[in-house]
Amino acid sequence: MAGKAGKPNRPRKADKDEEEQPLLQAVLVADSFNRRFFPITKDQPRALLPLANVSMIDYTLEFLTSTGVQETFVFCCWMASKIKEHLRKSKWCRPTSPNVVHVITSDLYRSLGDVLRDVDAKALVRSDFLLVYGDVVSNIDISQALQEHKQRRNMDKNVSVMTMIFKESPPGHKTRCEDDDIIIAMDGKSKRILHYQRAQALKRLHFPMNIFHSGSDEFEIRFDLLDCHISICSPQVAELFTDNFDYQTKNDFVRGLLVNEEILGNQIHMHVTKDGYGARVSNLLMYDTVSSDTIRRWVYPITPEANFADQEGQSCTHSRHNVYRETGVSLGHGSQMEENVLIGRNTMIGANCTISNTVIGANCVIGDNVTLDRAYIWNRVHIADDVKVKQSVICDNVEVKHGVVLNEQCVLAYNVVVGPDITLPEGTVLSMHHPDEEDDEDDDEFLSDDNDVGYRKDKTKQKGSLFNPAEVGSEGKGYRWKTSSLEDTEEDDRAQFTLSNITWISQVYSNCSFPSVFQNEVHGTLQRGLDENISCDNLVLEINSLKYAYNISLKEVMQILIRVVLEFPFHQQGAQISTAQYSSHLLPVSMTLLKKWAPVFKNYVKRPQDQLDCLASMEEVFLERETHWAALVKVLMSMYQLEILEEEGIMHWFNQGSTTDKSQQLRRNQGLLKFIQWLQEAEESSEGDE
């Protein structure tokens, strides 16, 4: 640390070496904490859902490894054992893996905030780390951003706590997720984020004026950015989450930091990249786009045929028009794979099928005359003859019988059977889980994939209610869910969004708050301190936190503190007490108080200016109560004896030209004059001694 204080070249260099040495760490949050993928995620955690036949978490880990991350902490909650099992089998846990993966599980994680608080509690990260979700697909080279981040931190002594990575993509881009539409105001030169706002469903935008006064002459307000959900964080981020236990999401965090920027002094920067690809599979629409982007090789070198996850038998070949085939694929006579098709191993496809923009998993059987367009078919699915599927997701072990037509945005969750001869309207969601199972939980505060573990076990399954043949066909099995989750109209998230808005507003409100509230709070604190005999250190801590909470300057804190202490007897005894009573009370009570809290005062009264402020506020208090002027001397005396105030300060205050008659009167008070005289003598005598 000594090296940091000293600016000369040598210690700085040493610092740099030190900072480059620690291995790059990453925190991977393998839980989404929302239920966009419901009901699919009832059976399988989102991180393990296959995207182009490879689990999403493998993409994220591959990205991390290729950027040089050497240690990754995977946090899981919902179905943690499945994720653990998957990772144990994967190449990431082989002894030769360059990226050491630790899995940390807990049922208590309810949000990103919880995870980061745990990171802090366990002290897992030692230096800057990457924060990603388990469903991020990316090939962005972040070394440059990392470099910039480090430079900023070296320069400004840890002011910048986070660098967010954005990808340039103009509005209307298919990889832009509507939920993540954000408007960012940034400082063009330093790349500092000044304002961050989600633009989803907002018709009007507000920018606080103060962002334009921050001293920079170059501004950018951008709407063409795609949040890759990759951020470079310093260890402070975890600490900040601990300090602010109301932060749940990254959004809360960013907004909180920006609002409190002046107080906490933390900044957030951004890095905009044009190359590379980065997106988060945050809902089924994004699943569709990211899958097709992967097939179209936007994420090169992470492509299906690269077999980066290194799984046995997963190798596939790539031929023209982005047609990928794994081993053992059989294609019937007259069937055509038009473009952007990936077919998993041992899948059999019948005659005269037309397949385009589709991913088919392993061991599927597909009949004759089937038309698949933008279909995502996972493993072991049986599709009979004459089926038409358009832009739909079909999960493992589903059976689609003869003549079924799936319109846009249908979801068939695990083990569902549909048909025969039925047309599912747009946006149908079928699952083996009854939607009523969910009703209770919808009120749940934390809307997450993971909160229904208990419920599901308690609940006796109402299998009595039969499957509705009008919904799933005469031989079908499954329940229809109300809305399609392909459309990202998630009310719960909206609610959360508005909720966070409100808290934000209240924060702003309290920012311009009144000292009187603060005064009451301080009074309460001191009272409590007296009653419960709390140590001075803790009182200081509490007053400090109140200071931040009410946005009070140091000067005001002192004034209020003085006022509170001096008025303490009034509060205790009622306002109508005589001088004698006051001084007698103040003497035993307030003096002991003063003595007791001397360290508190000393903490706030440090510079000569502080003394003056302190005296001025003391004067103010006494000016309001003329009858008690005699007590002033006693207070001053004891303050002097406790070494809170010094002679010079008092003399300076006394000699200061007073503005009002009353204060001049005060200064002519007999007792005070005597005290001053005594002080002068004492000073002279001490000078004489020397």
Partner 1 sequence: MPGADKETDLSERIESFLSELKRCGSGAGSLRGSAETARETTALLRRITAQARWGNAGDLMEIIRKEGRRMTAAQPSETTVGNMVRRVLKIIREEYARSRGSTEEADQQESLHKLLTSGGSSEDNFRQHFAHLKANVIEAINELLTELEGTTDNISMQALEHIHSNEVIMTIGRSRTVEAFLKDAARKRKFHVMVAECAPFCQGHEMATSLSKEDIETTVIPDAAIFAVMSRVNKVIIGTQTVLANGGLRAVNGTHTLALAAKHHSTPLIVCAPMFKLSPQFPNEEDTFHKFVSPHEVLPFTEGEILSKVNAHGPVFDYVPPELITLFISNIGGNAPSYIYRLMSELYHPEDHEL
Closest distance to partner 1 from the beta carbon of 352 (Å): 24
Interface characters, 97-136, with partner 1 (x: CB under 8 A): xx--------------------------------------
First to last CA, the chain: 41
Closest distance to partner 1 from the beta carbon of 504 (Å): 31
Closest distance to partner 1 from the beta carbon of 197 (Å): 22
What whole-number distance in Å separates Cα of residue 228 and Cα of residue 155? 26
User: Rg of the chain's alpha carbons, rounded to an integer?
Assistant: 34
Position 358 contacts partner 1 (CB under 8 A): no
Stretch binding partner 1 (CB under 8 A), from 35-43, 103-111, 305-313, 672-680 = 305-313
Helix (H) / strand (E) element for 259: namely helix 250-259
Strand, coil or helix: 441: helix
Stretch binding partner 1 (CB under 8 A), from 172-180, 326-334, 454-462, 653-661 = 172-180
What whole-number distance in Å separates Cα of residue 411 and Cα of residue 54? 19
| Cis amide bond preceding 469, omega within 30 | no
CB 161 within 8 A of CB 267: yes
Parallel, antiparallel or unpaired: strands 479-481 and 371-377: unpaired
- Report the residue from 86, 117, 152, 167 that binds partner 1 according to the rule CB under 8 A: 167
What whole-number distance in Å separates Cα of residue 376 and Cα of residue 373? 9
Stretch binding partner 1 (CB under 8 A), from 90-98, 118-126, 329-337, 571-579 = 90-98
Rank residues 321 and 459 by Cβ distance to partner 1 and give the closer one: 321
Position 641 contacts partner 1 (CB under 8 A): no
Stretch binding partner 1 (CB under 8 A), from 166-174, 423-431, 498-506, 522-530 = 166-174
Stretch binding partner 1 (CB under 8 A), from 303-311, 447-455, 479-487, 671-679 = 303-311
Non-local (6+) Cβ contacts of 165 within 8 A are: 140, 142, 145, 228, 230, 231, 232, 270, 271, 273, 278
- At which residue do the structure tokens 């400082």 appear? 187
What whole-number distance in Å separates Cα of residue 280 and Cα of residue 182? 15
- At which residue do the structure tokens 């945050």 appear? 282
Contact set for partner 1, span 483-542 (CB under 8 A): none
Contact set for partner 1, span 207-226 (CB under 8 A): 224
Q: Give burial (CB, 10 Å; 0-12/13-18/19+) of 668.
A: exposed
DSSP string covering 14-71? HHHHHHHSSPPEEEEE---SS-TTTTGGGTS-GGGSEETTEEHHHHHHHHHHHTT--E
Closest distance to partner 1 from the beta carbon of 295 (Å): 10
- Report the residue from 82, 198, 222, 296 that binds partner 1 according to the rule CB under 8 A: 296
Rank residues 172 and 688 by Cβ distance to partner 1 and give the closer one: 172
Rank residues 252 and 288 by Cβ distance to partner 1 and give the closer one: 288
- At which residue do the structure tokens 């303050």 appear? 639
Closest distance to partner 1 from the beta carbon of 375 (Å): 17
Closest distance to partner 1 from the beta carbon of 550 (Å): 46
Position 312 contacts partner 1 (CB under 8 A): no
Non-local (6+) Cβ contacts of 378 within 8 A are: 50, 361, 393, 394, 395, 396
- Report the residue from 33, 92, 308, 467 that binds partner 1 according to the rule CB under 8 A: 308
Position 66 contacts partner 1 (CB under 8 A): yes
Stretch binding partner 1 (CB under 8 A), from 121-129, 270-278, 583-591, 642-650 = 270-278
Closest distance to partner 1 from the beta carbon of 298 (Å): 5
Rank residues 226 and 384 by Cβ distance to partner 1 and give the closer one: 226
Position 138 contacts partner 1 (CB under 8 A): no
Nearest to 625 by CA among 673, 588, 587, 570: 570
Judged by CB under 8 A, the number of residues near partner 1 is: 41
Position 171 contacts partner 1 (CB under 8 A): yes
Closest distance to partner 1 from the beta carbon of 327 (Å): 11
Nearest to 308 by CA among 566, 92, 551: 92
Closest distance to partner 1 from the beta carbon of 474 (Å): 38
What whole-number distance in Å separates Cα of residue 433 and Cα of residue 418? 15
- Report the residue from 70, 158, 169, 544 that binds partner 1 according to the rule CB under 8 A: 169
Helix (H) / strand (E) element for 645: namely none
- Report the residue from 9, 21, 96, 659 that binds partner 1 according to the rule CB under 8 A: 96
Which residues would be at the binding site for partner 1 (CB under 8 A)?
Answer: 65-66, 94-98, 139, 167-175, 224, 274-275, 277, 289, 296-301, 305-308, 315, 317-322, 339-340
